[in-house]
A and B are shown apart, each in its own frame.
Chain A
Amino acid sequence: MNGNAENVLELDDLSVAYRVGGTDRLVLRNVSLRIGRGEAYGLVGESGCGKSTAALSVVRYLPRNGSVAGGHVRLDGKDIMGLDREELRRVRAEDLSMVYQDPAKALNPSIPIGRQLAEVFEIGGASAKEARSRAYEMLEKVQISDPARVMGGYPHQLSGGMQQRVGIAMALASDPKMLILDEPTTGLDATVEAEVLDLIGHLRREFSISILFISHNLAVVSRVCDRVGVLYAGMLVEEGPTDRVFRNPRHPYTVALLRCLPGGGRRKSSGGLDTIPGFLPGLGAIGEGCAFADRCGLATERCRTERPPLHDLDGQMSRCHFHDRAQSLPHTTRHAPDESREPPAPRRPVLRVQGLNKTYGRDRAGGGVAAVKDLSLELKAGQTLGLVGESGSGKTTFARTLLGLIEPDEGGRIELDGKELAERVGDRSFEQTKSLQIIFQNPDSALNRSHSVRGLIGRALRQLGGLRGAAMDRRLKELAGSVRLTDHHLSVSPRQLSGGLKQRVAIARAFAGDPSVVVCDEPTSALDVSVQAAILNLLVELQSERDVSYIFISHDLGVVRYLSDNVLVLYLGRVMEYGPSEEVFSGPHHPYTEALLSAASDIGDAEDGRIRLEGEIPSAAAPPSGCAFHTRCPRRIGSICDELDPPLKEAQSGHAIRCHIPADELAALQVQRPSTLSRPVSAERRDDNGRP
């Protein structure tokens, strides 16, 4: 197919190779796709599938060791690869723009924002003055509230969401035909992500622009894109209209990917999550047959010898021999509710926090920044408490105070196993230190030593478990087994492991001293969904085996709902809502919780009727008077909210909400829109019902 006028972007049989250790390895294999005028196309896949490489080849900015091994990229019929330097520059200046994953890094740290933005207009031939005023207008278009202020400011003075708005403004400034979005909301809070996605949707219509949207997040893609392509090991394995692909996937990989998501209101009590067994084939290492064969539950002999072609199924494409059976892919985990998981015996409390405050820079007059305010909670053995809230809500400060890394204000009390916990970790007994452990989002910092994995876990066992010699070896084997690390994994250095395996090592270390409480600080946020599912399953298993309790911090409400027995919602360090997970999620909820739920992306959600939070989370240094949430509350009832801090009132027994609106009224208000997270959405629900 050559230069179809209707297609703005065409990848035609594109292959890209990276030179590693002297040989070229293919990271993209014969990928063909087209994006029409005004169309939004989502390219999804897990890390290492080649999606970023695809984006970078479109703008011809491959890393030094990358090269196009075959095929074409055409923009409006022009072959990008054949352009000379000046032509390429013009294409980048006029027709092609990109928004990047990490806006903090994508903006020049030492040039004022107005200048960086005006520059784009200057390339287009505008005078300096004109460029400035158009930069100003552009900032208004991306809904930045005080453009004059932002123009003179520097990137580091803005929040992540604002930075990304600037990034979008910059990309749209040249009025391009094609916009490439490379994970534009990864790393942003759900509320901010929702706003940015709204903005993209809105501007897309205004500028009638074509979009290539790269993301690992299926739900985000489903909200923005008309069509999606699923990449696996550098190949397009499925493609089609978004709702068809997500509701009726025809490739086992897509099916498996959708099943990994803990969305749709799933709970740990209803069974483990599906995972994708095995690993992505190494760079360029694909044999004869189907690239997915090693991990596919439907694979047959034919799959291993004959590479499946891309079958066209009436507008939906699938690279599978058995596309008609894709959804009968066997589940990897049992789905039946596990009765034994709810033991009737009353659980004993392991952790009790009472009236905990943490004020930074406190002075005698009682000033300072209250990062955690009057927090009380109780955690029972074998249970999980989910901690949710935007960044800046005090989640991390709370976790760090708990661990004794930050000293709280006087007056509060933390009890572990019935004994008071000293404020500083240095003053805690050995027993207490080993019973309270943490798992971080990024295990690298904790593991980055030259030790082997065996040495790392062994050291933790010596320090926390007090084990030596044969007893230690036995325990090490057992521990490695329970986090599914093989002998091979134990012998290598942690640097050689993938993110998911590193996290397993970190979990093994945390469990070395048989802890009673483990704080999990966003442990799966940096992982692919299939790996996330496996780690979540592991955490649930360890919990039911060892009766350990978790404090689980996450911005992903689906994950929190899946894992938690109780949920605590924090805003500006204050508890806004606290209660059993099911009640908090099904409502009535606090207006803030409601907004968080509404912002959360889940596949198949309706776009209308979503609640959006205006503006940014206020500074904890100057918290709003009255109800801390009143400056952004969509349900504010009047001056009482601005003046009087509402108390935490019980809505049902054990479920407390800090709001002036009575719980039954909240329930009545909230009934009008279905709670996004409780709707059955993913494909697996359908095949539970026996329908494809």
Chain B
Amino acid sequence: MRGRRTPARVIVISAFILKRLALSLVTLVLLSAIVFCVGQVLPGSVGRLLLGPFADHEAVEALNASLGLDRPLLVQYADWIWGFLRGDMGRSYMYEAPVQPFIVEALGNSLKLAAVAFVIVVPTAILGGVVAALNHNKPIDRIISIGGLTMTVLPEFVTGIILILVFGVWLKWLPISAAWPDGAGGFTQIHYLILPAMPLILVLFGYIARMARSGMIEALESDWTRTAVLKGLRWRTVIWRHVLRNALLPTITVIATQTGYLIGGLVVVETLFRYQGIGLLVFTAAKGKDIPMLLAGILVIGIVYTLATLIADLLCAVFDPRIRLGGRQ
């Protein structure tokens, strides 16, 4: 621990990162296996599905064989993964075209939407939580806590519809469809995305603010905050230097895990606002029994989710020496 970068310290940190990476990898392998199995047990033979109920048996078998569906499962799985890694995600039954470009575009769109939501919600929610905690049990705290809670329990489609009616139809401030005109610039795109992002923002605000608030309250009541105050530090310094850093650690994790929610929320919001994101894509694929599209979509969502959790863990480690350096031997 002497100095900042002795080998021992580097080893501890890299061991930590490696462990997390390995864990994420295991998660992904499991996830892909599950997704693959789900694909196997979905009803109906693919050939039958494609050719329709009146095609004769031989034709169905022949198609299955040509699609490689008569090979052992493990081979099919390996094939699927190998293809996936090379960017070949199979062919969509519905569009009769490679899946990959659809996924890439939809993912890009969803990330844009999520980014707009996050950029707005994270700072405001943290600020809200911190302000609430600093005014514990005062009116401001009540307003933020109860308001946040209310918004969290309202389903997205309800808030979404209200928002469309108020801002899109009545006030006409914002476009009600997320589909921006072709060739629109960055600002225009954001302008189109604000309304669809709002339902997500409202739900997330409640969660994140609540976490930030409770983290703050706990930190404010801690013994080390007392130490800092009784040292004679200015209140501002106590908050900035001592309290915030520890208080917001759990919040970082919450933000990352909310990615999971975000995906569910995206399906609703994207459908409501007719936005070509990954949520809408997976939803349509499921409806149309477009299995390759469905599987690829779910796997991609899984990857995004795992990555987000990994990043959250690493961020926590950056801020929390107890995780970064491990305990005393």
The stretch of B154-162, B206-214, B228-236 in contact with A is B228-236
Q: Tell me if A98 counts as interface (CB < 8 A to partner B).
A: yes
> A90 touching B232 by the CB < 8 A rule?
yes
> B246 touching A152 by the CB < 8 A rule?
no
Distance between A255 CB and nearest chain B CB, rounded to angstroms: 35
> B322 touching A156 by the CB < 8 A rule?
yes
- Given A156-B322, A159-B328, answer yes or no on A108-B1 (Cβ-Cβ < 8 Å): no
Q: Tell me if A143 counts as interface (CB < 8 A to partner B).
A: no
> B231 touching A149 by the CB < 8 A rule?
no
> A119 touching B233 by the CB < 8 A rule?
yes
CA distance in complex: A108, B234 (Å): 16
Can you give 20 A-B contacts (C-beta < 8 A)?
A61-B229, A92-B232, A93-B231, A93-B232, A94-B232, A97-B230, A98-B227, A106-B224, A109-B322, A110-B245, A110-B319, A110-B322, A111-B241, A149-B1, A149-B2, A153-B1, A154-B321, A156-B328, A157-B328, A621-B329
Interface size on A, residues (CB 8 A): 36
Q: Tell me if A158 counts as interface (CB < 8 A to partner B).
A: yes
| Chain B positions within 8 Å of A123 at CB level | 231-233
> B246 touching A108 by the CB < 8 A rule?
yes
Beta-carbon contacts of A113-144 to B below 8 Å, as 1s and 0s? Answer: 00000011001000000000000000000000
| Chain B positions within 8 Å of A621 at CB level | 329
CA distance in complex: A105, B227 (Å): 10
Distance between A657 CB and nearest chain B CB, rounded to angstroms: 30
> B325 touching A154 by the CB < 8 A rule?
yes
> A109 touching B224 by the CB < 8 A rule?
yes
Q: Tell me if A181 counts as interface (CB < 8 A to partner B).
A: no
CA distance in complex: A107, B227 (Å): 7
| Chain B positions within 8 Å of A106 at CB level | 223-224, 226-227
Distance between B246 CB and nearest chain A CB, rounded to angstroms: 6
- Given A61-B226, A154-B325, answer yes or no on A108-B232 (Cβ-Cβ < 8 Å): no
| Chain B positions within 8 Å of A93 at CB level | 231-233
In the complex formed, the residue of B with least CB distance to A123 is B232
Beta-carbon contacts of A72-95 to B below 8 Å, as 1s and 0s? Answer: 000000000000000001111110
Q: Tell me if B4 counts as interface (CB < 8 A to partner A).
A: yes
Q: Tell me if B242 counts as interface (CB < 8 A to partner A).
A: yes
> B321 touching A109 by the CB < 8 A rule?
yes
> A110 touching B329 by the CB < 8 A rule?
no
Point out which of B232, B321, B325, B328 has the most chain A C-beta atoms below 10 A from its C-beta: B232
| Chain A positions within 8 Å of B319 at CB level | 110
> B246 touching A174 by the CB < 8 A rule?
no
| Chain B positions within 8 Å of A611 at CB level | none
| Chain B positions within 8 Å of A111 at CB level | 241-242, 245
Distance between A99 CB and nearest chain B CB, rounded to angstroms: 10
Among B4, B230, B233, B320, which residue has its beta carbon within 8 angstroms of that of A110? B320
CA distance in complex: A123, B245 (Å): 20
Q: Tell me if A100 counts as interface (CB < 8 A to partner B).
A: yes
| Chain A positions within 8 Å of B230 at CB level | 59, 61, 92, 96-98
Q: Tell me if A170 counts as interface (CB < 8 A to partner B).
A: yes
CA distance in complex: A473, B15 (Å): 57
> B228 touching A108 by the CB < 8 A rule?
yes
| Chain B positions within 8 Å of A98 at CB level | 227, 230
A108-B246, A109-B321 given; name 9 further pairs at CB < 8 Å: A61-B230, A89-B233, A93-B231, A110-B319, A154-B325, A156-B321, A156-B325, A157-B325, A174-B232
Beta-carbon contacts of B104-140 to A below 8 Å, as 1s and 0s? Answer: 0000000000000000000000000000000000000
> A110 touching B321 by the CB < 8 A rule?
yes
| Chain A positions within 8 Å of B14 at CB level | none
> B3 touching A152 by the CB < 8 A rule?
yes
CA distance in complex: A174, B231 (Å): 9
Q: Tell me if B222 counts as interface (CB < 8 A to partner A).
A: yes
Q: Write the residues of chain B forming the contact surface with A, with a CB cutoff of 8 angstroms.
A: 1-4, 222-224, 226-234, 241-242, 245-246, 249, 319-322, 325, 327-329
In the complex formed, the residue of A with least CB distance to B249 is A110
Q: Tell me if A619 counts as interface (CB < 8 A to partner B).
A: yes
> B232 touching A89 by the CB < 8 A rule?
yes
Distance between B320 CB and nearest chain A CB, rounded to angstroms: 6
Q: Tell me if A528 counts as interface (CB < 8 A to partner B).
A: no
CA distance in complex: A170, B230 (Å): 11
Distance between B116 CB and nearest chain A CB, rounded to angstroms: 31
Distance between A279 CB and nearest chain B CB, rounded to angstroms: 29
CA distance in complex: A309, B228 (Å): 40
Distance between A469 CB and nearest chain B CB, rounded to angstroms: 47
> B231 touching A148 by the CB < 8 A rule?
no
In the complex formed, the residue of B with least CB distance to A105 is B223
CA distance in complex: A654, B59 (Å): 92
CA distance in complex: A93, B232 (Å): 4
Distance between A324 CB and nearest chain B CB, rounded to angstroms: 43
| Chain B positions within 8 Å of A90 at CB level | 232
| Chain A positions within 8 Å of B325 at CB level | 154, 156-157
CA distance in complex: A123, B229 (Å): 12
| Chain A positions within 8 Å of B1 at CB level | 149, 152-153, 157
| Chain B positions within 8 Å of A92 at CB level | 229-232
| Chain A positions within 8 Å of B234 at CB level | 89
> A154 touching B3 by the CB < 8 A rule?
no
> B232 touching A105 by the CB < 8 A rule?
no
Distance between B273 CB and nearest chain A CB, rounded to angstroms: 41
| Chain B positions within 8 Å of A153 at CB level | 1
Q: Tell me if A226 counts as interface (CB < 8 A to partner B).
A: no
Interface residues of A in 592-622 (CB under 8 A from B): 619, 621
> A152 touching B4 by the CB < 8 A rule?
yes
In the complex formed, the residue of B with least CB distance to A101 is B223
In the complex formed, the residue of A with least CB distance to B242 is A108
Q: Tell me if A541 counts as interface (CB < 8 A to partner B).
A: no
CA distance in complex: A310, B24 (Å): 70
Distance between B237 CB and nearest chain A CB, rounded to angstroms: 8
Q: Tell me if A102 counts as interface (CB < 8 A to partner B).
A: yes
Enumerate the 5 nearest inter-chain pairs by beta-carbon distance, A residue then B residue, closest first: A93-B232, A92-B232, A105-B223, A154-B321, A108-B224
| Chain A positions within 8 Å of B229 at CB level | 61, 92
Distance between A642 CB and nearest chain B CB, rounded to angstroms: 23
| Chain A positions within 8 Å of B228 at CB level | 108
Among B231, B321, B322, B329, which residue has its beta carbon within 8 angstroms of that of A119? B231
CA distance in complex: A200, B226 (Å): 22
| Chain A positions within 8 Å of B231 at CB level | 92-93, 119-120, 123, 170, 174
> A105 touching B322 by the CB < 8 A rule?
no
In the complex formed, the residue of A with least CB distance to B327 is A156
> A109 touching B223 by the CB < 8 A rule?
no
CA distance in complex: A94, B233 (Å): 11
CA distance in complex: A279, B228 (Å): 37
| Chain A positions within 8 Å of B241 at CB level | 111, 119
CA distance in complex: A619, B329 (Å): 7
| Chain A positions within 8 Å of B320 at CB level | 109-110
In the complex formed, the residue of B with least CB distance to A173 is B231
Point out which of A105, A619, A621 has the most chain B C-beta atoms below 10 A from its C-beta: A105
| Chain B positions within 8 Å of A100 at CB level | 223, 226-227
> B232 touching A152 by the CB < 8 A rule?
no
> B227 touching A108 by the CB < 8 A rule?
yes
> B224 touching A148 by the CB < 8 A rule?
no
CA distance in complex: A377, B327 (Å): 33
Distance between B157 CB and nearest chain A CB, rounded to angstroms: 39
Distance between B235 CB and nearest chain A CB, rounded to angstroms: 8
| Chain B positions within 8 Å of A119 at CB level | 231, 233, 241
Among B2, B224, B242, B249, which residue has its beta carbon within 8 angstroms of that of A152? B2
| Chain B positions within 8 Å of A174 at CB level | 231-232
Distance between A505 CB and nearest chain B CB, rounded to angstroms: 29
CA distance in complex: A673, B295 (Å): 81
| Chain B positions within 8 Å of A97 at CB level | 230
CA distance in complex: A59, B229 (Å): 10
| Chain B positions within 8 Å of A109 at CB level | 224, 246, 320-322
| Chain A positions within 8 Å of B226 at CB level | 61, 100, 106
| Chain A positions within 8 Å of B223 at CB level | 100, 102, 105-106
CA distance in complex: A154, B320 (Å): 10
Distance between B11 CB and nearest chain A CB, rounded to angstroms: 16
In the complex formed, the residue of A with least CB distance to B321 is A154
